[in-house]
Structure 1
Amino acid sequence: MNRLAAVLLVLGAAAIITVARGGHELPIYPSFYPHEIEIRSLAPEDAVQPLRDGMIQAYIGGGLGFSATPAGDIRPVESLGSFIVVRTNPGSARVQDDAAACGVVGTVVRALAAQSDFVPHPYPVTPFHGDYLHHADLAAAAAARVSEPTAPTGDLKIAARGGLAQSHPDWSAREADWDAEVTEIDAAELVASAMFTVNGWLAPPWVRTGWFHAERLLADAASEPARKQRIDSDLQRLKAGNFTTLVERINLERDLVTLLTSGCRKLVAGYTVKREYVNVEFSAGIENIGYDSLTGLHSPMFIRTVKLKDFPWNGWLALGIDGKPAAAWNPIGGMTDPFGRLMGFAVGDPALLPSPYQAGWMLNRISDLPSGR
């Protein structure tokens, strides 16, 4: 009997040990450092003090104003802010021909250049775009062309759409019978409005390219049938991948943007720079901050790189963002507002992520290794 009891005791102990050794780990690890991410809806004026105090580590979006120079622990992150677009009114007596339109646009661009937050760049592909080097010579030629002296056009009625234009003392948002219109188009929203998710993939693949942004900004101004046909042809070939070499593709992109920027009826006059702020204080702040050149901190790259300074791993990350949730929290047709997209960057796990400083994409979680390894 004692022998039977001993055997049962050994078997029981073995069973217990086996269970103890059979632990289970999570099959999927999050692809970011913090183990908890809190997103708070905060108006810009309400976010300054929490950012200084370390109650939030970053504020997503522009508009954060400081009454004085921020302390050394509050650092700016710069990305493309808005495109500043000048459009002439075809019904205005001041712009009856192309030469007159160029004179009006030149006058408006010179007035914009006096604005402190405006960066003159009369070409839709900016240095923040990953494909800018393919267009650098065309951008320089456009800048030289716009800077050529033209007869000044006075007493213009300018319709101002957006904060930068409305800060000009002589321009009004209520101007009805306008000669030219100055519009501010948010670059991050331009990207977001064209991006969608299909089966875990962010698309379309060209959503971050300068030529695609140029088409979205300027294509509606092309009125000549031959020019419109060439624009449509180049656009269709680029989207269909109807080219054989890299050189052919780049030349197609350059040709498309050249067609879009010919004339003065509608022109990207320049851009603004968006500044978002982060707290880098030790130990309440963050480090290892990746961000996107077009969308700034509002990007999957920021969520997947940022790390709390007081934790080698894990930690509680608190982010502020302007605006309350306004879209459904589901990956199919939802998460289309800034709050929802930021949350989607955290809970989603797409195969490809926007490359932060390039026009294309990068692999997420997997590596593209050479064959044979």
Structure 2
Amino acid sequence: MKEKEYLKGRGAQKNPPNKFLQYLYEARDDFLEYCRLEGEEAESNKTQYLPVFPKTIVNKVTSPDVGMMYSMNPYQGCEHGCIYCYARNTHEFWGYSAGMDFERRILVKEKAAELLEEKLLSKSWKAETIVMSGNTDCYQPAEQKFRITRACLEVFLKYRHPVGIITKNAFILKDLDIIKELNKHRLIGVNISITSLSEKTRRILEPRTASLKKRLRTIKVLSENDIPVNAMLAPIIPGINSHEILKLAKTVSDHGALSFGITVVRLNGAIGQIFTDWIRKTLPDRAERVLHLIEDCHGGKLNDSRFGIRNRGEGKIAQQIRDMANLARKTYFKDKSFPELNKNLFETYKSGQTKLF
């Protein structure tokens, strides 16, 4: 039978088995052939939005490799389809695959804003920056329909609580009004992810994300409004975007970013086989070279799970990446710094003492 057609507009090209499930689903060749002859689709490639109702929304981050203490995610799964995304593995916790399911079955936390307010009003809660999109992008396409991120920002503003945002979508500018209000009190910092200056590379790595031009404009607009922006130049994938570090850093600095972060790609869990399948289909001429370069950064494997090492890698290639990043900071960011957010207003607004004035 003819090999299955490449799924345009998606990152992952397969649905690997969920390691937590007892039974596996497999589309047999005879069924696929029957569908082809009948002119039917074996499965739909359309995105599904599925409501879920968790009891909590704010997560404590225990990893020392992540620069945040708390995160929250209005959506699980992400239609952006970034092939390298570390969050893919979390979709297995919900009973789905880390592959195409991650991009096509988006779990929507409709009560996120209510859960956030409940958390902030709890007696034990003290102000610490909560980062939206610690796992999946809070401004992915689903936000245009549900506007849950907007509702959460309104809660943060109501209680004057600090919030961080990580996104690679220009749709964040639709909320510029409330972001500006938060910034008047030094309550918000934005992280914009830019992985490459090549649109061709962007399209294959991150098929449903905003274009490079729109992301750079987003940095510029936010910066012109004095909103602090950090650029996430991550992940660096040897053999794909590792040669762009200096140009990336200069470009985001020129557009107003105050700092940048960088990590070396690691393909943990199911992501290893998803990425390997993808690169052999998408970049067959350099697939093995790229895979070997990644392995060189992680002791001969596609992933290293050791804290303190897994995001920076080891070996000559990983060291070259760090050296280039250090040079970029000294050259393009020597007089810049990302400010600390304001934690001092929350207790007053939480207790309602402002009503006395």
TM category, shorter: under 0.3
Query: Would you tell me which structure has more strand in proportion to its own residues?
Result: 1
User: Of the two structures, which has the highest relative contact order with CA contacts closer than 8 Å and spacing of 6 or more?
Assistant: 1
Q: TM-score when scaled to structure 2?
A: 0.22
Query: Would you tell me which structure has more helix in proportion to its own residues?
Result: 2
Query: Considering only CA atoms, is the larger Rg found in Structure 1 or Structure 2?
Result: 1
Q: TM-score when scaled to structure 1?
A: 0.22
